[in-house]
Amino acid sequence: MTMLKNQIIAFILLFGFQFANAQDEVMNYKDLQKYLPSSLSGYEAGEPDGQTMTMQGMSFSSASIEFTNEDDFVRIALIDYVAAASMYQMATAMWGMGMSIEDDEMIAKAVKWEDNIVGWEEFRKIDKEATLALGIGDRFFMTVEANNQSGTDFVKSVAKKMDLNGLADK
């Protein structure tokens, strides 16, 4: 979980100052954690993690949780980019173009989830790891990652159980 948090912070710090637009207030990480699932059938839940970071010109909030079952994991992360709209647009811009990629190592493609939710699904064939990344309501960014998978169906089913429309309406 710390590695994911560090990657998020590095991304924000690296690109944030160039694209910051702090007119709106981000959701506090404790409120964002309420949108994470508290349980996942067949897995043991870890403790939710999160933070809200504010600096001159921008702010963001993140929440995450990891579920484990022996050597298997499911990681879910949510980020509120409301105060950094340009960063959000940069992260999700290519998804609307219907791009897809397939080679010997992976299959990846843009997905249209609902009217205000778009994303990217990726299955890494060799590692058997699946990732679903969704842009929600032009504000939130979510990833669901799992190992020991045969495709992206499981990570999509995890996301479908979450109140993504509730987030999109914020």
The answer, yes or no, to whether residue 70 has pLDDT greater than 70, is yes
Model pLDDT, residue 144: 97
* pLDDT category of residue 60 using cuts at 50, 70 and 90: confident
Provide the b/e sequence for 107-116 (b: ≥16 CB within 10 Å): bbbbbebeee
User: Which structure tokens are listed for 159?
Assistant: 């996301």
* H-type alpha helices, the chain: 2-19, 29-33, 85-92, 153-160, 164-168
On average, the pLDDT of the chain sits at 82
Q: What is the CATH number of the domain that holds 150?
A: 3.40.1000
Model pLDDT, residue 6: 47
> Based on the structure, what is the number of domains in the chain?
1
- Whole-prediction pTM value? 0.81
The answer, yes or no, to whether residue 21 has pLDDT greater than 60, is no
**15-29, 47-61, 66-80, 89-103: least confidently modelled range:** 15-29
Structural domain boundaries enclosing 83:
2-168
State the amino acid at position 105 in one-letter form. E
CB atoms within 10 A of CB 142: 23
Express each pLDDT in 113-155 by its tens digit.
Answer: 877 888 899 999 999 999 999 988 878 889 999 999 999 999 9
The answer, yes or no, to whether residue 107 has pLDDT greater than 80, is yes
